[in-house]
Every structure is written in C-alpha cells, then in structure tokens.
Structure 1
Amino acid sequence: MLRKTILALTSLVLLGGSSAAQEQTILPGYWDVTNKVTAIISQTKKEKRCITPAEVSKFVMGPSNRHYKCDYPTRVFKDGHITLKGNCATKNGSKAAIQATGSYTPTTFNMMARISTTYAGVPLSGEAVTTAKRISESCPASPEAQ
C-alpha cells in the first residue's frame, strides 16, 4: 500500500500538475519515454508515445488525477530548465512534499523528482526520473504501432 502511494505520487510529479506551459517546451511527435521510480524498490517503464500538440502541456506539466491533488507554488519552465516545488494530497489526507528539477529542449525532456512523506510516523522518500527523446515528427498511423 505504501509503495503504491509513493509510486502514484511520483508518477504525478513526472506528469506535473495541471497548468498551461509558460513558454514552448517540447515539440509534439513520437517520443521514446523512460520512467524510473525508486521507492523501497526500483521500477522502470519504457514506452513509445505519441504526444499531440494538445498533449504537450499535459506531458511536461500534466494532470492531477482523481486520487491526488497537487499544488506547485514553485513551477518554472524557462530557458530549458525545470523547477517544481509543491505538495500532493490524497482524498484521505495523506500528503507528500515534492521537488523536481530538470531540463528540456524541443526534442528532449529530463526530470528528476524527490518525494518525501511519512507513513505511520516513519519518514519515507522516493525518487523518480523521466527521460524522453523525440524520435519522429509524426506518430505511427495505427495505435497498435505505439
């Protein structure tokens, strides 16, 4: 349960909170994305993903979901550098502090996030790293190719 909570909160950091990008970040297209989460154990997920123009902001600063609400008082995407600092909370009141830094170009995206929380009074932390590289301007025609 705790591991799932940390993994879910880490995923939110990798996707960010819902907000429009302040400046151009990445270009739409077909991307090779790797997410690595280390929280008690390590887990890596690799995928090829189509990012449409409408999804660019969602990818770099992403959505909250129905389980967690994130607030980033510090949210900077400027001159190729990323800085996020904030907190996420579940509906049942569990909270986690989040700090993320990274870099981006129109064809690359790299972010490392640190998550701190407590569970039954025990301090816990996790780390998540996303690396992504644009591999094509256009996405495959069929969803099965993704």
Structure 2
Amino acid sequence: MRSTVLAASILAVAIGGAGLALAQPMVRAAPVEKGASKATILPGYWEYDYKIGVIPVSNETKCLKPADAEQFSRGICTKRYRCDYTTNVVRDGKIALKGVWTDKKDRASPVTANGTYSPEAFKMDIHIKTINGMPLAGSLTAKRLSAECPAPEEKKAETAAK
C-alpha cells in the first residue's frame, strides 16, 4: 500500500507539474514534425484539473503568455525532468507523445500521453512507469477561462475565496 501511495504522489507531481511546461521553458524536446500547425492553444487565463485514475488530485489556474502557448506543441515537461520524445505529434487537434522523462539523478521513466486539443481546451491521458517500474495513469484537463489574465490582486482574492 505504501508503494502505491508513493507512486500516486509521483504521478501527481508529474502530471501536476505537466501544466508547468506551458509556463516554464522546456529543457529538451523532439522537434515538431514538418507540416505541423503552429497554432495550437490560445494564450490567456487557464484552469487545469489533474487526476490519477478517476481520483481528482488538484486544480489550479495559470496565466499563459503567447510564448507559453507556443511551447504546447513541444510536449509536456516539468522543470524537475529532462523530457526527450521520440514521438511528438501535436497537430490537427490531436496530441501523441512518447518518450522518457529523466530526473536530476539520471533516473529514467518512460512516458506516453495521448489526447485532444482545441484553441481553448485540451485533455491528455498520461501513462508513466516510475523508476521502480510501477505503471501509473492519470489525466490532465485544461480549459481557457478568459483571454485576459486577472491582475495579481484579483488572483489573490480568487485564491482566498477557494
């Protein structure tokens, strides 16, 4: 049971941070296929929901700048990992990623993600194998709340209200 809880925590960090890829620079990713559309998601104020299986793990909002939205086509990653994708297809409303996330201690975890996107929403099902070989599955769902991000004062008030 303890290993299951630990594994669930790892996936929560992995997919919980997945949205951070849109706000953090990518460390390394495979080039986007030729002919792939550059227009994927729109910048603005976004809400992210993370689940492990069917269990909700967290919910957060983020302000995506135009450069962050452009990062979307390069695949998910967090600042905790180096993400190398052998398959990186983000076009025509579909997402297909397959690769390896390597942590700062050079421990590798295979990962795949499949999903769909539109300019104002996306959903990805993520499958990862922990460094101990335990398979985990989760999902990341996001939707654009508005074209404009709230001022820092408004965001603090919104967070306090939750």
Q: TM-score, normalised by structure 2?
A: 0.70
Is 1:132 matched with 2:142? yes
CA distance in 2, matches of 1:48, 1:64: 16
Q: CA deviation at 1:49?
A: 1.9
* SS in structure 2 at match of 1:57: helix
Is 1:8 matched with 2:39? no
One-letter amino acid of the structure 2 residue matched with residue 25 of structure 1: T
- CA RMSD, aligned part only? 2.9
- Mapping of residues 60-75 of structure 1, within 5 Å: 61-65=75-79, 67-75=80-88
Match of 2:96 in 1: 83
The size of the alignment, in residue pairs, is 140
- Mapping of residues 1-146 of structure 1, within 5 Å: 2-3=6-7, 4-11=9-16, 18=26, 19=29, 22=36, 23-38=38-53, 42-58=55-71, 61-65=75-79, 67-119=80-132, 123-142=133-152, 143-145=155-157
* Structure 2 segments unaligned to the other structure (5+ residues): none
Q: Tell me if structure 2 keeps the 8 A contact 1:14–1:111.
A: no
One-letter amino acid of the structure 2 residue matched with residue 81 of structure 1: K
Q: TM-score, normalised by structure 1?
A: 0.77
Between Structure 1 and Structure 2, which shows a larger proportion of strand residues?
1
Q: CA deviation at 1:5?
A: 3.9
Q: Tell me if structure 2 keeps the 8 A contact 1:36–1:45.
A: yes
One-letter amino acid of the structure 2 residue matched with residue 8 of structure 1: V
Between the two proteins, what is the percent identity of the paired residues?
32
Q: CA deviation at 1:11?
A: 4.2
CA distance in 1, matches of 2:47, 2:131: 33
Deviations 1:56-86 (A, max 9, x none): 1345635542x42110010000100000000
Q: Which has the higher contact order (CA 8 A, sep 6+)?
A: 1
One-letter amino acid of the structure 1 residue matched with residue 47 of structure 2: D
* Structure 1 segments unaligned to the other structure (5+ residues): none
